[in-house]
Amino acid sequence: MSTPRGRQSRLTTSRAHSARVYDYILGGKDHYPADAEAGDAMCRHWPALPVHMTENRRFMHRAGRFLAEDCGIRQFLDIGTGLPTSPNLHEVVQTAAPESHVVYVDNDPIVLAHARALLQSSPEGATAYVDADMHNPDAILGSQEFQDLIDLEQPVGLMVIGIMHFILPPDDHRLVGQLLDPLPPGSCLAMTIGTADFAPEEVNRVAQEYRRQGMPFVLRDLASATSFFDGLELQEPGVTQAHAWRPGPEQDGVDGRDVAMYGAVARKP
């Protein structure tokens, strides 16, 4: 088992943080009053927010299984991991392929403090945690953890789940490209991308609350979401709402107006 390394982040509890707000809304315990206040305000604007966040995480589970079972991918780079909530990505993919390697990346000191929960790998596989920011791809790709666990001669599953709405243009496409470019052919990009296409009034009020709390926030329409996959081979069913991408029984009865996220998986040719 690895131990988290990297820069030591200073914990700020007086301002809301996206990972902790997410934890609060989903009923977790790793948050502070500022996070709870922000989460309550967002849920007042859009009571469906817990459903939306749950379906985003369920997309990650299904996409991870698809990459491991259908695409044969055995190594994963998970950007913007968030607080550990079982099943985590390594639990999903190592169920299908115990030898899988997973490198988690986040830059919240609370996530760092709980990173050991992300490092409970199967005996055959391996996990590591990198304390880094998506805005600095070189720090991620140059980390010892990435270099130790990821073989760039073999395909990689790049997971960018629930983070792009915090990455503003023009950095968004550049950063995804810098993470994807070094990965070999056969690698896959799995993404979810926030949108106001289905409940515009409510979701835009949530976006305004994020911004009021000091967190940058951008929503994208279908064309903008699809553009992240230019030059890649979209896997069926293409870019859909997150709950509609290869849905399982858990998605029965989910109202599309309650999910403000597009999701897709695409292969690098």
Q: How far apart are CA 32 and CA 211, in angstroms?
A: 18
Span between the terminal Cα atoms of the chain, in Å: 33
Alpha helices (H) along 119-182: 137-141, 144-149, 171-180
Q: Which pLDDT belongs to residue 113?
A: 82
In the DSSP assignment, the letter for residue 244 is G
Q: Which pLDDT belongs to residue 8?
A: 41
How distant is the alpha carbon of residue 150 from its chain centre? Answer: 19
Q: How far apart are CA 100 and CA 149, in angstroms?
A: 10
CB 118 within 8 A of CB 104: yes
Q: What are the pLDDT tens digits along the chain (269 aa)?
A: 333 343 444 567 888 878 788 888 888 888 889 889 988 999 999 999 999 999 999 999 999 999 999 999 999 999 999 887 889 999 999 999 999 999 999 988 888 888 877 888 999 999 999 999 999 999 999 999 999 999 999 999 999 999 999 999 999 999 999 999 999 999 999 999 999 999 999 999 999 998 988 889 999 999 999 999 999 999 999 999 999 999 999 999 999 999 999 999 999 99
CB 261 within 8 A of CB 195: yes
Q: Output Rg (C-alpha) for the chain, integer angstroms.
A: 17
Say how many CA atoms lie within 13 Å of 38 toward its Cβ. Answer: 27
Strand bridging mode 233-234 / 261-267:
antiparallel
pTM attached to this predicted model: 0.91
Which of 149, 47, 160 shows the shortest CA–CA distance to 100?
149
How distant is the alpha carbon of residue 175 from its chain centre? Answer: 14
